[in-house]
Amino acid sequence: MKIKKGDWKIESSSLINIEWRNKIPRLIVHEKYEKIVKWILRGFTFIGIATSIISFEWYQSLILTLILLIIEQFFEKAIFEYTTIIFQTLPNFEIDGKRWKTVGYAMAEEKNEEFPPFIGPAFDDEAYARNFFEYVKSWNQIDNDDPDNLIIVSFILERNETYSLFIYANPNRKSLDTKFKEIEEKRKFEKYGKRHQQLFSICVFAHNFKYGEGLFVDKFLQKYKPEEKFNFVPFLLDPETNQLKILNSLAITKYEYKLKRREMLTPKDQEYHTKFDLEN
């Protein structure tokens, strides 16, 4: 279930959830509901006192006491969480998806490890292409080499003979862990005994294109495995001649890409949450 707050949609499971530990349920609650949980506990204490003055058969009293004890323990052992959200730096230029026209591919006829292929989004405006790729490179500290796969490039094979190319910052990058640990250290006394819920935002760029046997995308995926080196680079499309030019100075050396079919994605995959209307 999602809770809408202004322009935000928040999964209710991020606020209240139940985890099973050694076959025993544990209530996980966001700290904003801490007072409510405490009042619930006080309520059960009052119910226990109130029922103690009411005459029941001994077995009825025992059953009621056990039920109240179990419920009280469930809330008593609740784990409270506090949330930190790290927002990715936003682009300093206006995003215009219409500028991304196609995907460029440049590769040798015969596979040669010394000359890895060039692939990347093709734009119809050079200034926009440069702005876009400088922003993408900022996820890798403006470095032209990405051995830690800080920039994710993924191919998702869709239905109806299409594929989607996704570009986004790696959500598992070590720099995020470092920042969260720094925050935990600063707030360890203020939030003592509470669990740290770590959230972050990233920009995801994606576009859907035709896929089929004989197309450049098919040749690339057939010839180069996901763990092989390639150059990720922007292309410039000349709308009059339909020719592509490689902006080689912006190339990023990559050592892997992601390849999955849409039906194999799970909610843990970033691409799972972006779906294209493929009916038209």
Q: What is the pLDDT of residue 49?
A: 67
User: Per the domain annotation, does 184 fall within a domain?
Assistant: no
d(CA 1, CA 12): 6
**pLDDT tens digits, 39-86:** 777 776 777 666 666 656 656 667 777 777 777 777 677 777 778 888
Q: What is the pLDDT of residue 55?
A: 58
Q: What is the pLDDT of residue 25?
A: 76
Instruction: Say how many domains are in the chain.
Output: 2
Q: What is the pLDDT of residue 221?
A: 95
* Token pair belonging to 215: 């197309």
User: Per the domain annotation, does 179 fall within a domain?
Assistant: no
Contacts with 143 (C-beta within 8 Å, 6 or more apart), sequence order: 137, 252
The answer on pLDDT for 216 being more than 90 is yes
Which of 77, 105, 136 is at the close of a domain?
77
Q: Are residues 98 and 231 in the same domain?
A: yes
Model confidence, pTM: 0.75
Q: Are residues 124 and 222 in the same domain?
A: yes
Contacts with 258 (C-beta within 8 Å, 6 or more apart), sequence order: 152, 153, 154, 155, 166, 226
Q: What residues make up the domain containing 44?
A: 2-77
Q: Are residues 105 and 223 in the same domain?
A: yes
